[in-house]
Amino acid sequence: MSDLSNTGVGGTESAHAGEQGHGFESFFPDSGGVDQSDASTNIDDETIAELRELAGRYPQARSALLPMLHLVQSVDGRISPRGIEVCAEILGITTAQVSGVATFYTMYKRRPAGKHHVGVCTTALCAVMGGDYLLDHVCSKLGIRPDETTPDGTFSLERIECNAACDYAPVMMVNWEFMDNMTPEKADELLDRLAADEPVASSRGATITSWREAERVLAGFPDGRADEGPTAGEASKLGLNIAAEHGWAAPTAEEAK
Amino acid sequence: MTDPLTPVLTANWGDEQAWKLASYERRGGYQGMRAALRMTPPEVISLVKDSGLRGRGGAGFPTGMKWSFVPQDNPNPKYLVVNSDESEPGTCKDMPLLLASPHTLVEGIVIASYAIGVSHAFIYCRGEVLHVIRRLQQAVREAYAAGYAGSNILGSGFDLEITVHAGAGAYICGEETALLDSLEGRRGQPRLRPPFPAVAGLYACPTVINNVESIASVPAIVKNGSEWFKQMGTEKSNGMTIYSLSGHVARPGQFEAPLGVTLRTLLELSGGIRAGHQLKFWTPGGSSTPILTDEHLDLSLDYEGMAGAGTMLGTKALQIFDETTSVVRTTLRWVEFYKHESCGKCTPCREGTWWLVQLLHRFEAGTAVDGDVDKLLDVCDNIGGKSFCALADGAVACVTSAVRHFRTEFEAGYSTPAWELFPYRESALFEVREREGAGV
């Protein structure tokens, strides 16, 4: 794996390859900013045991690959080369097959994500409602562009697609928790508090933990925070409340007979 | 005549800790499951067929009929997969349902699995919704502990495993065959049909894939009967459903109403368009459903009413845009979404959405040239209907419908930038003090 990825693409090496009969030349100057020489990992026997446990939860082990990659991220802060190897070994597939999956899905990060992963929705509706300005604002505030991480490792930023919270537009996400009805002022306060390690509650979720802890839950290891937060946000209950004001309800089973 | 709003799925969303089993059962939760387990599986399928319940995830296929397509003589295990990948732009009904009342889904899963003969059900939930997944995981654990999942459910002899599975960020996995590939641990790319999933789905075994809201509607149908369900809605579009109102409205939110309600009614109930503004265009069911205008306020929001207007009910995601909004900008942003989310399998979609974005950038910047509108439509014609799945069709539907209703606005892009015609700061919901621009 590492031998292959360190060969490099483009530049002089592919020119050599050309002399040896290969006509291919890459037009990608780098591998999306991924440091292929970074082999660091925190994966230990305990991680491997948990990865095996995930593989055992499905009728066919390979179904566990997405959860396993979430767990790799929670341990290594990214999809690490070692994580890819371990997943491939456990599932009996090639590292290329694992890489093919890891590079397909946007939630998998091959570069280290920040302690807090911040998303700003700029799909059409959120963009029009102010999401474009919010993203500009957050970029200036953090001094990074989308898909970058602050030098201190506190924040990474992503321009996200529709996150199924359009009645709370414009929407931001922190570690995949909803931050509803955002404004530049609210974004400032949110980021300042996170940077200062002060507690921040999601609009419709739990107290913000970290991106890595979130990834562990997504892998299938609950963190015991399901009972935090409200049943529903105000917009979710709007129709219900209007019905109550008017005394409206669905028919009863008796009325139907 | 039923009331204008009919909360059933949303009825407990105001309850304290509605997501807990105890709270759900205080409202009569799991009574539908108990009733179903006293029936035979074919009786349950007949009941759901009789109710006229149709899929709530976009396509509107009759749910009971889908269940009956599963060959009962197939020796392989049968699977139920709940599509909880809710990612269609504008769509935001399943996530609040699962946050507030995950047991409604779990109860529906037990009933559906019993009816179809499923021994293992999966909830494939998009990954970018941490708290939804927490609540789902907990609800499934509670169901096991109460004996509503696992082996010999309530002494019926029926066994069922339920697995909550988090995706990893891919709109395409909402397409049912891509979802199956993803659940098998592969890149989420659609499969060519036939074979259909009912015959060869997950692990090539008979599989039913249903939307969250479809399955969540089943417990109430079993509990109250098919006649009860048919009391709501129109002749061919039965029952209640959740409409999601978003955008430039005074009060956005979720409304559970009988199928066939009009946008005019929903706007009147919620306070209308935001103060001082007028409706310009809207989607009936997400960005993949052709847009409508203020001429369509009185159309019946049901499967037939929307088809009659050349669009689709889709996910009932009503995205509302007022007169400050550039339709060129909005269309561009939708097409950028499809370009980003195209899985790359089919050339017309992978390359075509890329070209559409290039063209639409020119329209937005006012640098399109005479004839570009026709070129845009020509590119659309080479994408729609020419790929494996409906993503490509959705990508062109927003373009062709926007051009149909607002062609002159696109032609204005031959000379004038969209942000000059429609200053973007005026569409935002907060006061913009920062530099004017088209975003990052």
Last residue of a domain, one of A112, A128, A147: A112
DSSP string, chain A: -HHHHHT-SSHHHHHHHHHTT-------SSSTT--TT-------HHHHHHHHHHHTTSSSGGGGHHHHHHHHHHHHSS--HHHHHHHHHHHT--HHHHHHHHTTSTT--SSPPPSEEEEEE-SHHHIIIIIHHHHHHHHHHHT--TT-B-TTSSEEEEEE---S-GGG-S-EEETTEEE-S--HHHHHHHHHHHHTT---B-TTS-B---HHHHHHHHHT---S-TTSS-SS-TGGGHHHHHHHHHT--PPPHHHH-
Q: Is the ipTM value over 0.90, yes or no?
A: yes
Phi-psi region of B334 (alpha: psi -120 to 50; beta: other; left: phi over 0): alpha
Q: What are the tens digits of pLDDT across the range A184-209?
A: 999 999 999 999 999 999 999 999 99
Q: Is residue A233 part of a domain?
A: no
Report pLDDT for A31: 67
pLDDT of A23 above 70 = no
Check: CB of residue B10 under 8 Å from CB of residue A239: yes
Query: Is A241 an interface residue toward B (CB < 8 Å)?
Result: yes
Counted domains in chain A: 2
Contacts of A60 in chain B (CB under 8 A): 184, 203
pLDDT given at position B1: 76
Note whether A136 contacts B: Cβ–Cβ < 8 A: yes
Task: Please report, for the domain that includes residue A77, its CATH number.
Answer: 1.10.10.1590
- Considering only CB atoms, B254 lies closest to which of A125, A127, A239, namely A239
Q: At A196, which CATH number? A: 3.40.30.10
Instruction: Set out the domains of chain B in order of their start, with CATH numbers.
Output: 21-231 (3.40.50.11540), 240-322 (3.10.20.600), 327-426 (1.20.1440.230)
Which SS3 state, helix, strand or coil, does residue B49 take? helix
pLDDT digits 0-9 by tens, A129-175: 999 999 999 999 999 999 999 999 999 999 999 999 999 999 999 99
The three-state secondary structure class of B24 is helix
Q: Do A89 and A125 fall into the same domain?
A: no
B319·A104 Cβ contact <8 A? no
Residue A132 and residue A181 in one domain: yes
Sheet holding B292-293, edge to edge: B253-258, B240-247, B317-322, B279-283, B292-293
Phi-psi domain of B357 (left: phi exceeds 0; alpha: psi -120 through 50; beta: other): alpha
d(CA B273, CA B233) in angstroms, rounded, equals 25
Q: Does position A12 have pLDDT exceeding 50, yes or no?
A: no
Q: In this structure, is residue A19 part of a structural domain?
A: no
Average pLDDT, chain A: 91
Note whether B334 contacts A222, CB cutoff 8 Å: no
Query: With bands split at pLDDT 50, 70 and 90, how would you rate the model's confidence at A112?
Result: very high
pLDDT score for A2 = 38
Give the integer Cα–Cα distance in Å for A122 and A172.
9
Whether residue A220 is contained in a domain is answered as no
Task: List the one residue out of A251, A209, A53, A15 whose CA is nearest residue B224.
Answer: A251
Domain closes at, from A86, A112, A138: A112
Chain centroid, CA A250 distance in Å: 39
Same domain for A124 and A45: no
A173 lies within 8 A of chain B by CB: yes
Residue A5, pLDDT > 60, answer: no
Q: Judge whether A128 is closer than 8 Å to chain B, CB to CB.
A: yes
- State which residues form the domain around A121: 116-210
pLDDT of B10:
98
Low-confidence ranges of chain B (pLDDT < 50): 436-440
pLDDT of residue A25: 61
